[in-house]
Amino acid sequence: MPFPVGQFMETALNRAGRTPGCSGKAGVGFTLIELLVVIAIIAILAAMLLPSLSRARQKSQGVACLNHLKQLITAATLYAGDYRDFWPLNNAGDDNVDLANPPVGYIPKVWVEGREGSNLTDERTADGMVSERVSLLAPYLKSKRVFRCPGDTKPWRINNQWVTRPRSYGMNAYVGWNTGPWSGMPNAQVYRIFRKTADSQNATMIFVFGEIHPSSLCRPMFGINMDSQTLYHFPGNYHGRISNFVFADGHTEVHRWFDSQFNDPAPAPANWHAHTANTVKPSSYGDLNWLKTHATLRN
Average pLDDT, the chain: 88
Note whether 187 and 228 are within 8 A (CB).
Answer: no
In angstroms, the CA 124 to CA 131 distance is 11
- In which element (H, E) is residue 176 found? none
What is the phi/psi pair of residue 176, to 5°?
A: 75, 5
Taking 60 as the threshold, does the pLDDT of residue 15 lie above it?
Answer: no
At 159 the pLDDT is 74
At position 26, the amino acid (one-letter code) is: A
Note whether 225 and 280 are within 8 A (CB).
Answer: no
Note whether 135 and 113 are within 8 A (CB).
Answer: yes
Three-class DSSP category at 119: coil
Three-class DSSP category at 66: helix
Does pTM top 0.85 for this prediction? no
Taking 50 as the threshold, does the pLDDT of residue 178 lie above it?
Answer: yes
At 5 the pLDDT is 46
pLDDT, tens only, 122-167: 889 999 999 999 999 999 999 999 999 999 988 888 777 787 889 9
Taking 80 as the threshold, does the pLDDT of residue 264 lie above it?
Answer: yes
